[in-house]
Amino acid sequence: MSVVQRLGAGWLLDHLSFISRSGYETHGSLVHPPRGALHPCDPAAHATACASGDDPAPGGAVELEGRRGKTRYVFREEFFDVFKPHIEAAAPEASTSQEKQKHFHGDFKDPHITQKRKRKCVFNQGELDALEYHTKIRKLIWEGTLHLVQEGLKSGFLHCTTAKLDCSKNVVPGPIGCGLAELCERAKQFPAINDSDHEAIRAIDDETFISEQDLHSCVIENNSSCAKMIMLMGQKYLVPPRSSFLLSDISCLQPLLNYKKKYDVIVMDPPWENKSVKRSNRYGYLSSWQIKQIPVLALAAPNCLVVTWVTNRQKHLRFVKEELYPHWSVKTLAEWHWVKITRSGEFVFPLDSSHKKPYEVLVLGRVQGSVEEALRKSEEVLPIPDHKLIVSVPCSLHSHKPPLTEVLAEFVKPDAERLELFARNLQPGWTSWGNEVLKFQHIDYFTVLSGS
C-alpha cells in the first residue's frame, strides 16, 4: 500500500514502499540469444557492457535473465533519504522561547517566515501570474499539509530528525544505464516494418528472444506474477509483473495504437519547455504544438480520466486547461497538488520561496462523449473532487513522480486499463510509454533483499 494516511485534505503517500512492494522477485534460468543473431555490436554498446562486467549481446540485443531460485529486489532507500529542506527557511531572531515557538507549529515550520531575496528588477508578467496563483492556493497547501504531516508523525511514518545524519547516503550517483533516448533515435534507422505482418505484442518469457528492433516496434508485456530481467546494451533492467511498455519517442507511437487497448486512465508528465531545461540540456522537451499531436482520443476509453502533471509556470497550466484538454475533448474537473516534504515533515522548499515551490500541479479531466454514456459511467465511480493534496517524501532522482494507482482507484472502475505517457519507470497494472521508459528500472537503482 502506498497510502499511509487519508484525510479530507488528501493523501500521505509512501513512494518507496510502493516500489518495493511491486513484486520485484525474479526466478528462472538464464537465457542467452544465439551469437550473431543481430547486426554486429556497436563500439559504444560493447564499451558500456564491458565496463559493467557483462558479456554484451550482439547488436545491443535484449536478453532475458533469471536465476535458479528466487531473488527479491527492493528500491534503494537512500534515494528517499530527504532529511532536511533543500533551502532552509530563515528563522527571525527571537529573544524568548515564546517568540521562538511562534515560528513553529509542532515540528512543522511556518512558511510565512522566509529569507527574502533582494531583487534588482520588477516582477515580469509570468512571475506576477505565479504569485497570484500561489496566493489563491497557499492556505489550502499549508493547512492540508499540516494535517497530513501531523498524522504521519503520530503514526511514526514521519519522525523528527534529532540524530546526527549520515550525509554520505544522500549523494545521488551520476547517470545510470545506457542512453535510452539516444537508442530511440538509433531505432529510426532500422528498416521499416509492415504493421500487418508484424506482431503488435511480444511477451517476455524464459524461452523468447527479443531483439532491439522488437523493443522499439511493439509493446513488450510481462504477464507473469514475477519480475523479469532484460538486458539492453549490456545494462540490466527489471520489469515488474503484469506490466507492459513501449520504448520509443513521440514520432513512433504507432505500436501503441496497434496494441488495440482503450484506457480508462491516462497519466502524462510531458517534458515542458522552459529556460532551465534549455540551459542544462538535461533532457529533451516538446513544444505545446507537439504535445497536442499525441493521439489521446485514439487511446482513451469512454469517460477516460486524464491526468497531466504541470510545472508551476502559469503559461503551461493555462495551456492545458484552455487549449490542450479542449483539443482532446477533455473537460477539466479538478486541480490537485503534489506537496514535497522531508522525512520529518518540513516542506523541501519554503512555501513562499521565490526560487522554487515545494509543490507541483496535476490537472484532472474526463474525455467527453455522449450524454448517455457519461451518465452511465458516472454511476460506476465517484466524482472527481477538487483541491486535493498528495503529500510525500520525493525521490532524489530527477522527475520520479509518486505513484497514483491507489489515489485514483476510487475514481475509476476496478478493472481499469491504465496508461502512463512520458513514463520513466514501470508499474504493475500499467502500460507505460516514453523514450526513457526503463530509466528507473535499471538494476543499479535496486538492491537485493537480504535473505532472498
Q: For residue 37, is pLDDT > 80?
A: no
pTM for this one?
Answer: 0.81
Q: What average pLDDT does the structure give for the chain? A: 79
Query: Confidence class of residue 104 from pLDDT cuts 50, 70 and 90?
Result: very low
Q: For residue 198, is pLDDT > 80?
A: no
* 275 vs 334 pLDDT, higher one: 334
pLDDT of residue 246: 95
pLDDT of residue 46: 35
pLDDT of residue 70: 86
Lowest mean pLDDT among 81-90, 92-101, 379-388: 92-101
SS (H, E, C) the chain: CCEEEEECCEEEECHHHHHHCCCCEEECCCECCCCCCCCCCCHHHHHHHHHCCCCCCHHHCEEEECCCCEEEEEECHHHHCCCCCCCCCCCCCCCCHHHHHCCEECCEECCCCCCCCCCCCCCCHHHHHHHHHHHHHHHHHHHHHHHHHHHHHHHCCCCCCCCCCCHHHHCCCCCCCCCHHHHHHHHCCCCCCCCCCCCCEEECCCCCCECHHHHHHCEEEECCCCCEEEEECCEEEEECCCEEEEECCHHHCHHHHHCCCCEEEEEECCCECCHHHHHHCCCCCECHHHHHCCCHHHHEEEEEEEEEEECCCHHHHHHHHHHHHHHCCEEEEEEEEEEEECCCCCECCCCCCCCCCCEEEEEEEEECCCHHHHHHHHCCCCCCCCCCEEEECCCCCCCCCCCCHHHHHHHCCCCCCEEEECCCCCCCCEEEEECCCCHHHEHHHEEECCCC
Average pLDDT over residues 325-330: 97
Query: Confidence class of residue 217 from pLDDT cuts 50, 70 and 90?
Result: confident
Q: What is the pLDDT of residues 289-316, one digit of tens each?
A: 999 999 999 999 999 999 999 988 899 9
Query: Confidence class of residue 187 from pLDDT cuts 50, 70 and 90?
Result: low
Q: For residue 352, is pLDDT > 90?
A: yes
pLDDT of residue 423: 96
Q: For residue 59, is pLDDT > 70?
A: no
Instruction: Please state, in angstroms and rounded to a whole number, the distance separating the CA atoms of residues 327 and 342.
Output: 38
Lowest mean pLDDT among 16-30, 34-48, 199-213, 339-353: 34-48
pLDDT cut 90: percent of the chain above it: 52
pLDDT of residue 354: 83
pLDDT of residue 285: 82
Q: For residue 50, is pLDDT > 60?
A: no
Q: For residue 164, is pLDDT > 50?
A: no
pLDDT of residue 235: 87
* 58 vs 275 pLDDT, higher one: 275
Average pLDDT over residues 395-422: 94
Cα-based angle 420, 179, 442 (whole degrees, multiple of 5): 65
Q: For residue 103, is pLDDT > 60?
A: no
pLDDT of residue 192: 56
Lowest mean pLDDT among 7-16, 53-62, 89-98, 279-288: 53-62
Lowest mean pLDDT among 19-23, 108-112, 181-185, 341-345: 108-112
pLDDT cut 70: percent of the chain above it: 68
Identity of the highest mean pLDDT range in 53-57, 59-63, 250-254: 250-254
